[in-house]
Structure 1
């Protein structure tokens, strides 16, 4: 009888391995300083600093920003409950904590999020340093901001991070509260504001303006992607993204599937320099990639059947399920209106056990799914138990920047927000 043991159980380092033991007892800041002394993290962080120092523009397909894609309108966001939850959080915090968590609406700190477990930008408030009441108030704001499915998914990333910390006996650097939280602007029913939270395998940027929301960029991931023991046993993440993505790829005619496959190997010798890196692997829209040129690849969705287009929309909805009902409907309608300008691309095999990468990309949305090699598991090659996902809003509306620009033009002519 085939083993039912999860794949990751065969990939655990021994608890006394130097890979794990060297970091025991370090606090997150010390670990961050020590972790980036190693050549690969050091190079990654150096590149991030270079990218962050560039003025913020936007992700495009060819270096030219397409305009007129985003409009200020009523999309039914639950703004009143968002404002109430944010004000409740501020009331629970101490004066010093309120000072630490608050940033201007156009502050450059929006862009300092990153997804590794090492902390390089300790902005805002660290959840593990808050008391239970303050942490609960932050979670209530997350819950008010997200759909129930999205909130459970975000909490799943946090709980899986804690599970990984327990597996490695490194709860000091990977636990349920290993996240920084920042508030931007003043919570308001009609003025722009927002928040972000970032840490290992979970980064959310949430912009609110009137009844509209932008939740982008986002990063969600898990290593491993299933919890098989403890109080959260049975929790599994990214099933739809993985299974429907593979089913869609396998449903394509052979010739079309071949053209959709940009590279046959996950680390393919045919890849140009920079197409793969040890931090993001195949991801193009990860941390600090706010200005990246990402050309369309693969095949246009115009070649899909009606059923395949439906499958693609199901995948997109799984990626952006964190939107509340009104904003989700508005976003999905916009995504569907752009199907004739949407592309599907794939890297890797498409057998049942093959790890893979895929991207859905249009002028107003980019989603990425990637199976990764181990960081805290011992697999040197990608495995299906370590998953990263990214969502971006190309052409200027990451962090709600295009809506913020329009707001300034309408209410404060000649006073556009900064571009850092």
Structure 2
């Protein structure tokens, strides 16, 4: 898609206000970077308080009835070399509702100038997402050699992975109550507890990004960068910043902003035991499993409004390469194949979004084997555009599975609505024996004419690392 289709927006609303500005001061200095963020606006506290009581029954919760496989137990302790990097979490008896502030943080007045606490928190998170990762956050866990130094020699990296190191480094920046809320057991009940619905409708696991201090946000960015590819990390940043654009356009809507994203660890970060890094907000949900039966990077929900915007001194169009690949694939079909690929049902949203775990329908559309070589190449390119959101090692393993001749022979292409990706109801799907990719165009909620899409990537075998479904 060419950027000329869309009207360009002005630069993003001022993001220079740090979390420390809630007290009327300037950008926090180095001595204040590890301090906890101030409480969010009372509206966010109210949202957390209204969360269903069942969601607070965290420890020892049984997996959902759909979980036919035994879930990994409450995960093992942290790898010993990293216990010194941050204090161990407190016992689980005092869990708070998702997003709740630490004791003593609630009830602070709005900052001078009439800016709500939530708007200030959005600005702080947005400012962090728009800038490069602090070198100090990256340096906490040096890169590890990918290969032995000499053939036949075992790697000297016998300790925890860099991902685990960065997870523990992030946790070490948190207050004790935040650490306590960050970790949950790796069970089906908690794994499936993600959504793209506003947080007041669907409370999230873990802690809100708007409650994090600057040092914690930088540590979280370093963790996400390690867990994803470079383009995947950039996509996550862009989606979060786009949500702030939506919030600002709606007059500071308290349901959409970056401050309301939540991060959680399901299980204990480990190089051996199963655990999952979960990030969930309005238009982004990541469920990145480690040490599980299968390479687990799904379900992954990616959406955006607006599709093109400016923030932090650059233009963002993070979903366009994926969408362009899907629609180039669709438009390459000749009329007879286009008719064969058309689905019987229309779609107002993705079919397998949150709460639809394990509900894969029977295959529809045109088989990959019926396509010409040019069309087949475009199908493979579309799959690769999405899968390369994952970290390189994970993406390589998944592409090998999805693009094997056996898998492609059982892959189908489908569409409905319109072949114009700007038209609400335009829907495209790639459905393989494992792979499920779908994208749909929706009407804009806050920025008319700027584009609004929802997408989801699932894997029949490897959602949540293949542990539950």
Deviations 1:88-143 (A, max 9, x none): 11222222211111112225111110012333224211111121212222222111
1:174 shift after superposition:
2.8
Computing the radius of gyration from Cα coordinates, the structure with the larger value is 2
1:202 shift after superposition:
0.5
Match of 2:408 among 339, 353, 356: 339
Q: Which has the higher relative contact order, 1 or 2, with Cα contacts under 8 A spaced 6 or more apart?
A: 1
Would the aligned equivalents of 1:158 and 1:177 in 2 still touch at CA under 8 Å?
no
Q: In the alignment, which residue of structure 1 is the partner of 2:433? A: 363
Aligned residues: 335
Change in Cα spacing, 1:8 to 1:290, as seen in structure 2 (3 Å) is farther
Residue 217 in structure 1 maps to residue 307 in structure 2: no
**Tell me, what secondary structure is at the counterpart of 1:195?**
strand
Q: In the alignment, which residue of structure 2 is the partner of 1:292? A: 359
Residue 316 in structure 1 maps to residue 350 in structure 2: no
Match of 2:162 among 69, 81, 86: 81
Q: In the alignment, which residue of structure 2 is the partner of 1:387? A: 453
Distance 2:422 2:175 in 1: 51
TM norm structure 1? 0.72
Q: In the alignment, which residue of structure 2 is the partner of 1:194? A: 276
**Tell me, what secondary structure is at the counterpart of 1:214?**
coil
Would the aligned equivalents of 2:266 and 2:276 in 1 still touch at CA under 8 Å?
yes
1:373 shift after superposition:
1.7
Distance 1:183 1:258 in 2: 45
Residue 250 in structure 1 maps to residue 331 in structure 2: yes
**Tell me, what secondary structure is at the counterpart of 2:198?**
coil
1:328 shift after superposition:
1.0
**Tell me, what secondary structure is at the counterpart of 1:186?**
coil
Would the aligned equivalents of 1:56 and 1:291 in 2 still touch at CA under 8 Å?
no
Residue 55 in structure 1 maps to residue 120 in structure 2: no
TM norm structure 2? 0.65
Would the aligned equivalents of 1:358 and 1:369 in 2 still touch at CA under 8 Å?
yes
Deviations 1:4-61 (A, max 9, x none): 583598xxxxxxxxxxxxxxx7723546899x9xxxxxxxxxxxxxxx9643359xxx
Match of 2:190 among 86, 96, 109: 109
Q: In the alignment, which residue of structure 1 is the partner of 2:442? A: 372
1:171 shift after superposition:
5.6
**Tell me, what secondary structure is at the counterpart of 2:355?**
coil
Distance 2:166 2:326 in 1: 36
Change in Cα spacing, 1:83 to 1:111, as seen in structure 2 (3 Å) is same
1:377 shift after superposition:
4.0
RMSD: 3.1
Residue 327 in structure 1 maps to residue 408 in structure 2: no
Deviations 1:279-312 (A, max 9, x none): xx24111001013141111111111222222211
Q: In the alignment, which residue of structure 2 is the partner of 1:138? A: 220
Change in Cα spacing, 1:310 to 1:28, as seen in structure 2 (3 Å) is farther
Deviations 1:127-161 (A, max 9, x none): 11121212222222111111111100111101111
Task: Structure 2: give runs of 5+ residues left out of the alignment.
Answer: 10-40, 53-62, 70-145, 148-156
Task: Structure 1: give runs of 5+ residues left out of the alignment.
Answer: 10-24, 37-51, 59-75, 264-270, 403-418
How do residues 179-190 of structure 1 correspond to structure 2 at under 5 angstroms?
179-190=261-272
Would the aligned equivalents of 1:128 and 1:177 in 2 still touch at CA under 8 Å?
yes
**Tell me, what secondary structure is at the counterpart of 2:316?**
coil
Would the aligned equivalents of 1:26 and 1:173 in 2 still touch at CA under 8 Å?
no
Distance 2:174 2:188 in 1: 21
